[in-house]
């Protein structure tokens, strides 16, 4: 049995210097907030984005394998998987133990019995709630409440708080290594897009195209399992978004609007692309042109110090003699559902969030014509630098006609 991590049996992993940077940053924030211990409980929902915090702290979580973590303010970090010992992403730590599935609360309670001084401390639970910067699609939190109750009974003198303020702040600005992983993840997504160009045609089952995408994603080195947002149907009368295909077959005159994730070492990038099955209708061409313009205006405004509200306003355009309206959706990219997440809701608190250097987002404007959606979507993952924003992808702004 192999007992030490080796690059011969590995996934994409970060350096030990990146580990030390993250752990020092998180521990500084723990000291600021008076937290003695961060715990991460297993939860692999939302295409594994619910495990964003343990992945940030450990890199672990192979294809949604449950991950439990005890991250103390000082000393060794301990993690649990379904099997103990070496994993393809375990170059950061050696204490990886086996835990029964669905036993996160009992597992952490046992660890605290080994380290009893934490039973009287302040324990922060990852994913206990959401913030503007983390777990943005889980307003009520992402933790198994049964596990929390197990811990409260096992540690009645401990104070339990949310780790989201600490980990959301730590994850907000990305390091050079994280940006490189997101750039590679975007490349994986672009390779996946090419599979659509190669295989999607009228008469082809949607499931065949989806399967080709999944294979291309894996062959490019992508982490499993990526999310593909899938909208298809006749222009002006599309079916709503799915995350898997139906048994439908693509037909002439269809529009195919896809959100395509690429993942590298668990870091999640995204691109958005619209395809026309057969020659494109002029309204779709005009709608796409507005989406490009919206994206480019937002990209030009995306600098350190700009607010989310300013970006949302820059992305809202009208055209086609008032028939068309383009609106912006944007959210953070990294290990999970990162913030800020602007999905068209004009909350003042969200609009006032300030963008910083090192933030990474997916920008994905969409055009509606005559009140009907899916007349043009185009998006790319981007990074904010000191000089402005930079696209992480390389593909052209183009409406692909699949004939």
Pick the CATH number of 16-171 from 1.20.140.10, 1.10.10.10, 3.30.1330.10, 3.40.350.10: 3.40.350.10
Instruction: Tell me, rounded to whole angstroms, the distance of Cα 316 from its chain centroid.
Output: 24
**Among positive and negative, which fits the CA dihedral 395, 396, 400, 403?**
negative
To the nearest whole percent, how much of the chain has pLDDT over 70?
100
8: Cβ–Cβ under 8 A, 6 or more apart, which residues? Answer: none
CB neighbour list of residue 384: distance below 8 Å, 6 or more residues apart:
302, 303, 304, 355, 356, 357, 358, 359, 360, 361
Domain ranges of the chain: 16-171, 176-402
Q: How many CA within 13 A on the CB side of residue 403?
A: 6
> What is the distance between the alpha carbons of residues 209 and 212, in angstroms, rounded to a whole number?
5
The answer to whether the beta carbons of residues 73 and 4 sit under 8 Å apart is no
What's the average model confidence in pLDDT over 18-35? 98
Site of tokens 């010992």 = 85
Among 226, 195, 198, 212, CA closest to 47: 226
Burial 164-184 (b: 16+ CB within 10 A, else e): bbbbbbbbbbbeebbbbbbbb
- CATH code at 176-402: 3.90.230.10
Arithmetic mean of pLDDT over the chain: 96
pLDDT in tens, 76-98: 999 999 999 999 999 999 999 99
Q: What is the pLDDT of residues 219-253, one digit of tens each?
A: 999 998 899 999 999 999 999 999 989 999 999 99
Is-above-0.85 flag for pTM?
yes
pLDDT over 80 (residue 34) = yes
Average of pLDDT values for 105-122? 97
Which one, of 66, 144, 76, lies nearest residue 99 by Cα? 66
Tens of pLDDT, residue by residue over 362-375, are 999 999 999 999 99
- Using one digit for the tens of pLDDT, what is the confidence trace for 255-303? 999 999 999 999 999 999 999 999 999 999 999 999 999 999 999 999 9
pLDDT value at residue 337:
92
Rounded to whole angstroms, how far apart are CA atoms 250 and 119?
Answer: 59
Q: What is the pLDDT at residue 163?
A: 98
Strands 37-40, 68-72: pairing is antiparallel
Q: Check residue 135 and give its pLDDT.
A: 94
Least Cα distance to 151 among 107, 89, 194 occurs for: 107
- Above 80 in pLDDT, residue 345? no
pLDDT at 347: 76
**pLDDT given at position 78:** 98
Categorize the per-residue pLDDT at 346 as very low, low, confident or very high, splitting at 50, 70 and 90.
low
Residue 183 has pLDDT above 90, yes or no: yes
Residue 134 DSSP class? B
Is residue 1 pLDDT above 90, yes or no?
no
Give alpha helix (H) positions in 228-339.
282-301, 308-314
Least confident range of 3-7, 71-75, 96-100, 396-400 = 3-7
Band of pLDDT at residue 3, cut at 50, 70 and 90: confident
């Amino acid at each position: 049995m192999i007992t030490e991590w080796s690059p011969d049996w590995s996934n994409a992993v970060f350096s030990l210097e990146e580990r030390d940077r993250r752990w020092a940053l998180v521990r500084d924030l723990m000291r600021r907030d008076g937290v003695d211990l961060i715990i991460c409980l297993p939860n692999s929902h939302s295409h594994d984005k619910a495990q964003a915090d343990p992945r940030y702290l450990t890199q672990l979580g192979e294809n949604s394998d449950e991950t439990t973590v005890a991250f103390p303010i000082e000393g060794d970090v301990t993690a649990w998987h379904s099997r103990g010992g070496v994993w393809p992403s375990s170059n950061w730590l050696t204490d990886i133990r086996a835990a029964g599935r669905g036993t996160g609360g009992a597992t952490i309670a046992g660890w605290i019995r080994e380290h009893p001084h934490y039973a009287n401390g302040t324990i922060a639970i990852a994913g206990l709630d959401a913030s503007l910067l983390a777990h943005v699609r889980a307003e009520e939190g992402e933790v198994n409440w049964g596990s929390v109750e197990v811990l409260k009974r096992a540690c009645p003198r401990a104070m339990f708080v949310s780790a989201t303020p600490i980990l959301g702040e730590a994850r907000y600005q990305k390091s050079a290594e994280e940006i490189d992983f997101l750039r590679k993840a975007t490349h994986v997504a672009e390779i996946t897009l090419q599979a659509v160009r190669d295989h999607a045609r009228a008469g082809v089952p949607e499931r065949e195209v989806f399967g080709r995408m999944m294979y291309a994603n894996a062959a490019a080195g992508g982490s499993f399992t990526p999310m593909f947002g899938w909208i298809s149907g006749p222009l002006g009368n599309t079916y709503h978004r799915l995350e898997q295909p139906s048994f439908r077959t693509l037909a002439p005159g269809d529009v195919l609007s896809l959100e395509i994730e690429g993942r590298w070492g668990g870091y999640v990038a995204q691109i958005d692309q619209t395809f026309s099955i057969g020659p494109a209708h002029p309204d779709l061409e005009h709608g796409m042109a507005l989406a490009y313009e919206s994206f480019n205006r937002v990209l030009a405004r995306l600098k350190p110090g700009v607010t989310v509200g300013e970006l949302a306003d820059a992305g809202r355009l009208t055209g086609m003699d008032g028939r068309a309206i383009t609106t912006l959706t944007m959210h953070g990219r990294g290990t999970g559902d990162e913030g800020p997440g602007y999905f068209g809701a004009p909350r003042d608190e969200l609009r006032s969030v300030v963008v910083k250097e090192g933030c990474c987002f997916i920008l994905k404007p969409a055009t509606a014509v005559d009140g009907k959606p899916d007349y043009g979507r185009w998006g790319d993952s981007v990074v904010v630098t000191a000089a402005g924003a930079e696209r992480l992808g390389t593909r052209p702004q183009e409406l692909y006609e699949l004939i």
